[in-house]
Amino acid sequence: MWPDNETDQDFLNFTGVAGTVAEIIVQAAGRPISIGVSGRWGVGKSSMIKMIRRALSERTDGKRFVFVEFNAWLYQGYDDARAALMDVIATKLEGEAEERKTGVEKTKEFLKRIDWLRTAKIVAGSAASLAVGLPPIGVIGELFEVAKKIGTGNVDEATIKAAEKAAGDAGEAIHGIWGAKPSSSPPKEIQALRDSFEGALREMGITLVVLIDDLDRCLPETTISTLEAIRLFLFLQNTAFVIAADNDMIKYAVKRHFEGVNDDDLVISYFDKLIQVPIRVPPLGTQEVRAYLMMLFVENSCLQQEEKDKIRQQVGTRLTQSWQGKRVDRAFVESILTLPADLIAKLETADRLAPIMTRATGISGNPRLIKRFLNALAIRMAISRAQQVGVDEAALAKMLLFERAGDPKAYLALTQAVSEDPQGKPQFLAEWEEKAASGEALELPDVWDDAFVREWLTLPPRLGDKDLRGVLYVSREHAPLVLPEDRLSSDGARLLAALLDHPDMASTLKPQLVALARTDSSVIMDRLLERARQEQEWGIPGILDAMIAVGEADPSQGSRIGVFLADRPHGQIAASIVPKISDQPWARAAFDKWSESTSVAKAVKNAIKRI
């Protein structure tokens, strides 16, 4: 398995771009700079940020640049992103000033001004709330609530102490705004904050490099709040901001913030004014995808770390020469050092998959999607080994690729062909694969007729004469294995796929389920119960909606649900399931068993009593 985390190890030939960004910051020599690293979800922006930091660190003695990493997504829902960013920067500066024993006074002044802005926001918010008849917030709000309590006559020692504390806090806050600085105003304080910040950096002789990541994962209000905080510190001496985000997501957030603004130029201008140097994460070509796949396999191999580092270094160098026609492939990696046979087999898989994974619409060379594909493949192979199914990994990879990138209707037809064939072979593929391999003209039905399928058919191994029942068995969370004796009608197969993929929409399918033959309903319930056994908590999982819909369409199947739920481990039962199934005639069997069990939570039993 491969973790879905950013890394500063270069598997994607990003070192050159990261080095360029680092050099821009170095050459700025303290002049303010803001750099935007843009790219779609999963293309490697976070890893690029890590590599930029590493490249900057390698260019100095470690004293010139001080780094602040800020992930706005982590603060979403817990703190105001604007305030959180200011606090993160202030905390970093305070620590640096104490360690370097310089710039301490300026840093303290900076911290006080941040406190002023935060306090001013609290008090101003309370005043605004009172003005429109809403409960006040912050320290003024606490004082307001205590005063209401005293007004009702409910006065005790705790209330008196609360009043004293609230009054003291409010007094300090008000004194901090109006007492100590009677001439202060937000514009003056913001400028003073910028001056003290700049002065602290100057005295310490450092450039603060702020690395902003995951901005495009945030809700629009968090995105804008973070951008507004960045604006406070932008274009000050000895600062560098590197902001990683998907431009389209930023545009969406700006449009949501400025409702009614439909001018794309104005929307684009908002972000462009924050960014001086736009850098786009380069899309991966076939060579990069092949190298990435191979390096992922190398990273998970039994090779020693120094051997992995040697391969990674030489693969990176080779990628910089790919424009000259030099390839990164299995033969090249084998030429670096002697490799074990199982790793060579995986490198051959990477060789075959790279071209189609670069072009397939469902993957398009996206590093995160590639990693998820390999993780899914690894999980299914683990299931195969654990249950002694004996699946051919190459065949499984080819089927998984079609599942991820092919037309869903074509994939359903493929799985049906496997299920309906006595030997589990999709024999209709044999002729297509033969013609595709020989380069003959090939006419395909509508749902199969696209460039992806034509290239997929050329991939080894050929599947037309392979028994794929084991492949479907380990893939059954997406492709239910229906054996010959359990054959479904085409309508039944379509409805089963829909129930498994979108169980929350099951109620809308009830009229079609009612029209099915009872034999189809029985097979569908078999498959739903098979999926349901994977659930570890029985509150209201999505699969329950699908089971209920089938039980209502064919009441003979409902009793099976009651028996199934009654037999679930009682520690898995949550109270939320009780009202969900209370109007079902089959629920009483489960309720009776849960009520008698000593393992069922008290909340579940109480919920049963209330119905």
**Residue 581: pLDDT above 70?**
yes
* C-alpha dihedral, 5 to 11 to 14 to 18, nearest 10°: 60
* β-bridge mates for residue 277, sequence order: 35
The Cα–Cα gap between 290 and 350 comes to 6
Task: Please report the pLDDT score of residue 61 as a whole number.
Answer: 59
Question: Which of 220 and 174 is assigned the larger pLDDT?
Answer: 220
DSSP letters spanning 250-272? HHHHHHHHSTT---HHHHHHHHH
Count of CB atoms within 10 A of residue 378's CB?
14
The fraction of the chain above a pLDDT of 70, given in percent, is 81
The Cα–Cα gap between 383 and 476 comes to 11
Task: Please report the pLDDT score of residue 484 as a whole number.
Answer: 45
Task: Please report the pLDDT score of residue 158 as a whole number.
Answer: 57
Question: Which of 321 and 1 is assigned the larger pLDDT?
Answer: 321
Q: Are 401 and 362 in contact (CB under 8 A)?
A: no
Q: Which CATH number fits domain 15-101+206-280: 3.40.50.300, 3.40.50.200, 3.30.2310.20, 3.40.50.2020?
A: 3.40.50.300
Question: Which of 180 and 508 is assigned the larger pLDDT?
Answer: 508
Ranking 6-20, 168-182, 479-493, 552-566 by mean pLDDT, the lowest is: 168-182
The Cα–Cα gap between 342 and 298 comes to 11
Residue 212, C-beta contacts closer than 8 angstroms, at least 6 positions apart = 70, 72, 226, 230, 241, 242, 243, 244, 245
| Cis before 408 (ω within 30) | no
Residue 163, C-beta contacts closer than 8 angstroms, at least 6 positions apart = 143, 146, 147, 150
Mean pLDDT of the residues in the chain: 80
Confidence at 271, pLDDT banded by 50, 70, 90: confident
Pair of tokens at residue 516: 């099915």
Task: Please report the pLDDT score of residue 125 as a whole number.
Answer: 42
Amino acid at the residue 395 = A
CA separation (Å) from 326 to 287, 317, 321, 331? 9, 11, 6, 12
* Domain ranges within the chain, ordered by starting residue: 15-101+206-280, 121-188, 286-474, 490-610
First-to-last C-alpha distance (Å) of the chain: 46
Ranking 198-207, 374-383, 475-484, 578-587 by mean pLDDT, the lowest is: 475-484
| Secondary structure (H, E, C), 566-605 | HCCCHHHECCCHHHHHCCCCCHHHHHHHHHHCCCCCHHHH
Confidence at 584, pLDDT banded by 50, 70, 90: very high
Count of CB atoms within 10 A of residue 454's CB?
15
**∠ CA(201), CA(204), CA(206), 5° rounding?**
65
> Considering Cα of 380, then 381, then 382, then 384, what sign does the dihedral take?
positive
Question: Which of 593 and 519 is assigned the larger pLDDT?
Answer: 593
Rounded mean pLDDT, 73-95: 77
CA separation (Å) from 167 to 127, 146, 179? 16, 10, 15
Alpha helices in 273-407 (DSSP H): 286-299, 305-319, 330-336, 341-359, 367-386, 393-405
CA separation (Å) from 573 to 66, 580, 604? 51, 13, 7
Rounded mean pLDDT, 254-274: 73
Task: Please report the pLDDT score of residue 550 as a whole number.
Answer: 94
Confidence at 339, pLDDT banded by 50, 70, 90: very high
The Cα–Cα gap between 88 and 224 comes to 18
The fraction of the chain above a pLDDT of 90, given in percent, is 18
Number of H helices, E strands in the chain: 29, 5
Residue among 268, 295, 271, 297 at smallest CA distance from 284: 295
Task: Please report the pLDDT score of residue 3 as a whole number.
Answer: 59
Task: Please report the pLDDT score of residue 563 as a whole number.
Answer: 87
The Cα–Cα gap between 353 and 188 comes to 60
Task: Please report the pLDDT score of residue 497 as a whole number.
Answer: 86
Confidence at 334, pLDDT banded by 50, 70, 90: very high
Task: Please report the pLDDT score of residue 119 as a whole number.
Answer: 65
Task: Please report the pLDDT score of residue 332 as a whole number.
Answer: 93
**Tens-place pLDDT, residues 27-80:** 988 899 999 888 877 777 888 888 888 888 887 655 688 999 988 777 665 556
Task: Please report the pLDDT score of residue 492 as a whole number.
Answer: 87
The Cα–Cα gap between 545 and 551 comes to 10
Task: Please report the pLDDT score of residue 179 as a whole number.
Answer: 44
Task: Please report the pLDDT score of residue 143 as a whole number.
Answer: 43
Order of strands, sheet of 65-71, starting from the edge strand that comes earlier in the sequence = 65-71, 207-213, 239-245, 33-38, 277-280
Amino acid at the residue 533 = R
For 106-128, b/e burial (b = at least 16 CB within 10 A) is bbebbbbbbebbbbbbbbebbee
Rounded mean pLDDT, 195-208: 90
Task: Please report the pLDDT score of residue 127 as a whole number.
Answer: 41
pTM as predicted: 0.57
Ranking 170-184, 392-406, 425-439, 570-584 by mean pLDDT, the lowest is: 170-184
**Residue 519: pLDDT above 60?**
yes
Task: Please report the pLDDT score of residue 141 as a whole number.
Answer: 46
**Tens-place pLDDT, residues 117-161:** 666 654 444 443 333 343 444 444 444 454 444 445 554 555 545
Task: Please report the pLDDT score of residue 450 as a whole number.
Answer: 87
Consecutive H or E run containing 70: strand 65-71
**Tens-place pLDDT, residues 480-500:** 555 544 567 878 888 998 898
Alpha helices in 421-554 (DSSP H): 428-438, 451-458, 469-474, 490-501, 510-514, 518-532, 542-553
Q: Are 222 and 252 in contact (CB under 8 A)?
A: no
